[in-house]
Amino acid sequence: MPVVSFEDYLEAERDAEVKHEWLDGVIYARAGGSVEHGRLATNMMAALRSRLAGRCTILSSDVMVFVRETNLATYPDGSVVCGPLDIQSIERHGKVIGEAVTNPTLLIEVLSESTEAYDRGEKFAHYMRLPSLQAYILVAQTQRRVEVFHRPRTRGHWRQDALQTGDAVILHGVSIPLDDIYGA
């Protein structure tokens, strides 16, 4: 695979009809989402926005996240930043050609058959390297199930909470019933 500079990737991405990930010089096409994928992502972000408004910034899948520690540029299904936004702007010839958030507090991915292994494995390994990341949320499409991975306060393994019908996601002191994500 050809190696592409981050700047060349950003210029191409600006005009692309579909989004791509960039990993240390290699570009990967992202699969388009289903209607259900879009519905669940929107419901999750709306629930977060209604509960964290004024405390955190809620960002859609249009916002790039850059993991400096591993050179990954990607578009999570949702991002939340609690505190000041750290935005990396990239310029070429004096003109901003792209920008990415580098300090997400929460990241959300809606699982699909084609991305689930990557979202749980390699992508999560990249996300874990973000010093700001406190929680990683996986929303299943095929069943009412949300998994929340929490960063340990001390060294150790990330803690996982698997939630099902009747449960609620607890993030930053707010509760989001699964019915708010999946619909009653």
Q: Determine the average pLDDT of the residues in 175-179.
A: 93
Q: What's the length of the chain?
A: 184
Query: 59 lies in a domain?
Result: yes
- Between 101 and 16, the more confident residue is 101
Query: 52 lies in a domain?
Result: yes
Query: 172 lies in a domain?
Result: yes
Q: Determine the average pLDDT of the residues in 146-167.
A: 88
Query: 116 lies in a domain?
Result: yes
Structural domain of 130: 33-86+100-182
Query: 6 lies in a domain?
Result: no
Query: 8 lies in a domain?
Result: no
Model-wide pTM > 0.85: yes
The mean pLDDT value of the chain amounts to 91
pLDDT value for 1: 67
Specify the pairing of strand 95-101 against strand 72-74.
Answer: unpaired
